């Protein structure tokens, strides 16, 4: 792959092979003329994987969608060209583009459910695509496609509806739909976000296998540099709509030459080499605030006046390695000397205790036990991480603690007080003291409330603040979760997924809880924002003695924030222990499989 940027003065990185993707001078703007993507060039060869990384708002998804000749409502391509397998996509009528999508280039969205029709059976969705693009669609052909992505091929499975599949199975089905017509290019938008490490590993293996067997050119959009490192040949880093660094995955991640890339790498938690994370100071510039010079300058420690004069060009920073920085030779490597410091366990006894809790889900065939006699305890100032595959009972356990799922047996106590099974039966003070942040940021917030109203609501409900004091507290909370105060009057629909999640975290912290239950709260966050949120939660544990139950599939996050780890499988506790001991010397075979499946940056940083 060759990546360059901007005008013809940009350097060339050798002779590229016959290209599956060619993008030249691509610019995408909003209706008011604000640049979302600015003058981007890139080339991807057949059988190659390009990782496209950057924070929310960097333009990576907009660039990825442009590879299909598509832009979101309110945006339009103003210049440049896109060629897929030698065919130009620009200036074609929508009817032609619809024919090319799927045949020439396909797309897998971040949420696989949005790519699946909820009222059409799994097999029928594949058969429909085959009939539209290939004039065929027999059961044998459908089974063959499903087998390619290691889905069951029996008739009973093919007759399921999407909601009857697990998250990992839905993602595999979305992949099957993307490759059913064997297009030369596949675009994957955050394909592993929210998946447990085992399922994530399987999806990445499938992508690698399909890439090799079909010689696919793959563009993978992700905020997870560890995931990108495990599958990509090369990586392009985007900031404020431009490519700021590109090159082979190992050198870019192991020896970044742009301060922004270095900040991203320094924000990534790693279970193999735990360390204190360092978030990137400040927030990304908005669409209407991008300066004529380097957009990263306000956040950059290497900033000099010349950075403000004009946009730096992409200069050669190494073999096949480009960086858009006037001082790229001075960017220091990410250092691992400073390791994570564990918070001390509480000394006043457990604050939250659950004993022998079991819980069931109702199905057409009767009640199914999903949590089976789970016991745990968390002290003030302590963080207990709960890990396991999807379906292991993690979220149901958390919902039982929060009073959102009534246990079939067992007890839950907080500070020695028994908690009712239903949140509505608990006292207002008990509800204030125990708050939960949910995994899905799109369902966490009332769409009719502004950001300010959502964050201020607990202050009013629990009598903590009102009027000017409440507004001041809201502003402070938004700052703590790295959100600009300008968002206070926006509605959830106007925010990205990561921004919504940060609002949900701020709302929970507004109640001044003593116990915080976090269900995959960092899975939708950029790594730089994740680092800031983890640092904030660590500070609150130290300053306020906040007890945390932290559900996550990211073992790097576990190594960064947790004191102890509890491993769940099929609703049962398989192993529990201190984080540094359990991650380095697991005793249970299931724990070992989780650790072996987890991506790591250590290979590139060594």
The string of DSSP letters for 268-301 reads: ---SSS-----PPSS-PPPGGG--SS-TTGGG-T
In terms of DSSP bridges, do strands 49-53 and 217-221 run parallel, antiparallel, or are they unpaired? parallel
Q: Tens digits of per-residue pLDDT, 87-100?
A: 999 889 888 888 88
For the cut 80, the answer to whether the pLDDT of residue 13 exceeds it is no
Spatial distance between the Cα atoms of 239 and 261, rounded to a whole number of angstroms: 9
**What pLDDT, on a 0 to 100 scale, did the predictor assign at position 342?**
45
Spatial distance between the Cα atoms of 223 and 233, rounded to a whole number of angstroms: 16
What's the full length of the chain, in residues?
A: 606
**Region 244-250 average pLDDT:** 95
Distance of CA 178 to the CA centre of its chain: 21
Spatial distance between the Cα atoms of 522 and 560, rounded to a whole number of angstroms: 13
Spatial distance between the Cα atoms of 390 and 519, rounded to a whole number of angstroms: 12
Spatial distance between the Cα atoms of 595 and 556, rounded to a whole number of angstroms: 10
Does residue 605 or residue 451 have the better pLDDT? 451
State residue 49 phi and psi, 5-degree precision. Answer: -115, 120
Spatial distance between the Cα atoms of 586 and 311, rounded to a whole number of angstroms: 50
- Which residues lie closer than 8 Å to 37 by C-beta, 6 or more apart? 26, 27, 28, 59, 62, 63, 66, 241, 242
Spatial distance between the Cα atoms of 458 and 454, rounded to a whole number of angstroms: 8
CB burial of residue 38 (10 Å; 0-12, 13-18, 19+)? buried
Spatial distance between the Cα atoms of 443 and 85, rounded to a whole number of angstroms: 39
Spatial distance between the Cα atoms of 250 and 601, rounded to a whole number of angstroms: 9
Band of residue 10 on the pLDDT scale cut at 50, 70, 90:
very low
**Region 133-162 average pLDDT:** 85
Find, among 33, 41, 27, the residue nearest to 322 by Cα.
Answer: 41
Strand order in the sheet with 417-418: 366-379, 350-363, 409-414, 417-418
Find, among 80, 67, 95, the residue nearest to 184 by Cα.
Answer: 67
Q: At what angle are helices 259-266 and 527-544 packed, to 10 degrees?
A: 50
Per the CB < 8 A criterion, the answer to whether 583 and 563 are in contact is no
**What pLDDT, on a 0 to 100 scale, did the predictor assign at position 309?**
92
DSSP 8-state assignment for residue 462: T
**What pLDDT, on a 0 to 100 scale, did the predictor assign at position 250?**
92
Spatial distance between the Cα atoms of 54 and 261, rounded to a whole number of angstroms: 8
Spatial distance between the Cα atoms of 407 and 360, rounded to a whole number of angstroms: 7
**What pLDDT, on a 0 to 100 scale, did the predictor assign at position 12?**
39
Least confident of 118-122, 124-128, 237-241, 340-344: 340-344
**Region 58-78 average pLDDT:** 92
Of 143-152, 449-458, 526-535, give the range with the top mean pLDDT.
449-458
Of 148-157, 169-178, 228-237, give the range with the top mean pLDDT.
228-237
**What pLDDT, on a 0 to 100 scale, did the predictor assign at position 324?**
96
**Region 539-568 average pLDDT:** 91
**What pLDDT, on a 0 to 100 scale, did the predictor assign at position 8?**
35
Show the tokens assigned to 605.
């940083």
For the cut 90, the answer to whether the pLDDT of residue 185 exceeds it is yes
Using DSSP's 3-state secondary structure scheme, residue 54 falls into coil
Tell me how many degrees the CA angle 80-84-90 measures, rounded to the nearest 5.
Answer: 40
Please give the CATH architecture assigned to the domain spanning 350-442+514-605.
3-Layer(aba) Sandwich (3.40)
Find, among 43, 427, 74, 40, the residue nearest to 217 by Cα.
Answer: 43
**What pLDDT, on a 0 to 100 scale, did the predictor assign at position 4?**
40
Rg, C-alpha atoms of the chain: 24
Least confident of 278-292, 363-377, 457-471, 545-559: 278-292
Provide DSSP, 205-270. Answer: HHHHHHHHHHT-EEEEE-S-HHHHHHH-SEEEEEETTEEEEEEEHHHHHHS--SHHHHHHHHT---
For the cut 90, the answer to whether the pLDDT of residue 284 exceeds it is no
Q: Tens digits of per-residue pLDDT, 313-352?
A: 999 999 999 999 999 999 998 876 544 444 444 456 899 9
**What pLDDT, on a 0 to 100 scale, did the predictor assign at position 501?**
85
**Region 487-506 average pLDDT:** 87
Query: 96-127: string of b/e by CB count within 10 Å (b at 16+)?
Result: ebeebbbbbbbbbbbbbeebbeeeebbbebbb
**Region 244-258 average pLDDT:** 95
Per the CB < 8 A criterion, the answer to whether 274 and 339 are in contact is yes
**What pLDDT, on a 0 to 100 scale, did the predictor assign at position 605?**
59
CATH superfamily, region 2-104+183-325: P-loop containing nucleotide triphosphate hydrolases (3.40.50.300)
Band of residue 15 on the pLDDT scale cut at 50, 70, 90:
very low
Band of residue 603 on the pLDDT scale cut at 50, 70, 90:
low
Report CA-CA distances (Å) from 194 to 83, 171, 559: 32, 11, 18
**What pLDDT, on a 0 to 100 scale, did the predictor assign at position 336?**
62
**What pLDDT, on a 0 to 100 scale, did the predictor assign at position 226?**
86
CB burial of residue 335 (10 Å; 0-12, 13-18, 19+)? exposed
Show the tokens assigned to 160.
């399921």
Report CA-CA distances (Å) from 291 to 34, 206, 296, 298, 322: 12, 42, 9, 10, 22
Which CB contacts under 8 angstroms, 24+ apart, belong to 298-305? 299/260, 299/263, 300/259, 300/260, 301/259, 302/259, 302/327, 302/330, 302/331
The CA dihedral of 295, 301, 307, 311, to the nearest 10 degrees, is -30
Report CA-CA distances (Å) from 11 to 28, 41, 258, 312, 479: 23, 12, 16, 13, 40
> What is the distance between the terminal CA atoms of the chain, rounded to a whole angstrom?
24
**What pLDDT, on a 0 to 100 scale, did the predictor assign at position 111?**
77
For the cut 60, the answer to whether the pLDDT of residue 606 exceeds it is no
**What pLDDT, on a 0 to 100 scale, did the predictor assign at position 256?**
95
Spatial distance between the Cα atoms of 159 and 170, rounded to a whole number of angstroms: 14
């Amino acid at each position: 792959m060759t990546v360059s940027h901007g005008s013809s003065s940009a350097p060339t990185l050798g002779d590229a092979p016959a290209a599956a993707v060619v993008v030249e001078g691509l610019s995408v703007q909003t209706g008011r003329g604000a640049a979302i993507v600015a003058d981007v060039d890139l080339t991807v060869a057949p059988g190659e994987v390009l990782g496209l990384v950057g924070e929310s708002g960097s333009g990576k998804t907009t660039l990825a969608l442009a590879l299909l000749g598509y832009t979101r409502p309110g945006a339009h391509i103003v210049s440049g060209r896109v060629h897929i397998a030698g065919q130009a996509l620009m200036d074609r009528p929508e009817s032609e583009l619809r024919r090319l999508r799927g045949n020439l280039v396909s797309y897998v969205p971040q949420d696989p459910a949005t790519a699946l029709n909820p009222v059409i059976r799994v097999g029928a969705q594949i058969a429909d695509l085959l009939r539209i693009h290939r004039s065929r669609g027999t059961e044998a052909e459908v089974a063959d496609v499903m087998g390619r992505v290691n889905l069951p091929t029996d008739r009973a499975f093919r007759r399921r509806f999407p909601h009857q599949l697990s998250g990992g199975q839905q993602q595999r089905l979305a992949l099957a739909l993307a490759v059913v017509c064997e297009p030369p290019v596949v675009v994957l938008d955050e394909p592993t976000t929210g998946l447990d490490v085992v399922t994530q590993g399987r999806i990445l293996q499938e992508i690698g296998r399909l890439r090799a067997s079909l010689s696919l050119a793959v563009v993978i959009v992700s905020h997870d540099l560890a995931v990108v490192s495990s599958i990509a040949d090369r990586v392009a880093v985007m900031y404020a709509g431009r490519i700021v660094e590109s090159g082979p995955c190992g050198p870019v991640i192991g020896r970044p030459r742009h301060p922004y890339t270095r900040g991203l790498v320094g924000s990534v938690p790693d279970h193999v080499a735990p360390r204190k994370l360092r978030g990137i100071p400040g927030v990304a510039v908005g669409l209407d605030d991008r300066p004529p010079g380097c957009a990263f300058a306000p956040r950059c420690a290497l900033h000099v006046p010349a950075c403000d004069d004009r946009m730096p060009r992409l200069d050669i920073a190494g073999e096949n390695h480009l960086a858009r920085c006037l001082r790229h030779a001075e960017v220091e490597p990410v250092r691992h000397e400073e390791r994570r410091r564990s918070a001390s366990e509480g000394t006043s006894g457990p604050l939250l205790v659950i004993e022998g809790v079991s819980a069931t889900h109702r199905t057409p065939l009767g009640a199914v036990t999903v949590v089976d006699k789970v016991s745990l305890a968390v002290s003030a100032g302590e963080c207990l991480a709960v890990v396991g595959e999807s379906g292991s009972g993690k979220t149901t356990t958390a919902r039982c603690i929060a009073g959102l799922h009534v246990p079939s047996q067992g007890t839950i106590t907080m500070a020695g007080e028994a908690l009712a099974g239903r949140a509505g039966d608990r006292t207002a003070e008990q509800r204030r003291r125990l708050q939960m942040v949910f995994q899905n940021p799109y369902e966490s917030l009332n769409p009719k409330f502004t950001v300010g109203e959502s964050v201020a609501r607990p202050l009013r409900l629990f009598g903590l603040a009102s009027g000017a004091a409440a507004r001041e507290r809201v502003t402070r909370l938004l700052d703590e979760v790295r959100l600009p105060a300008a968002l206070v009057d926006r509605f959830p629909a106007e925010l990205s997924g990561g921004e919504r999640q940060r609002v949900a975290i701020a709302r929970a912290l507004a109640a001044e809880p003593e116990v915080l239950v976090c269900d995959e709260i960092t899975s939708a966050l950029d790594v730089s924002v994740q680092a800031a949120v983890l640092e904030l939660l660590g500070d609150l544990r130290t300053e306020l003695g906040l007890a945390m139950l932290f559900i996550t599939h990211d073992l790097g996050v576990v190594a960064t924030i947790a004191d102890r780890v509890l491993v769940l499988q099929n609703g049962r506790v398989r192993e529990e222990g201190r984080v540094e001991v359990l991650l380095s010397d697991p005793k249970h075979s299931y724990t070992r499989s989780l650790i072996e499946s987890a991506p790591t940056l250590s290979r590139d940083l060594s």
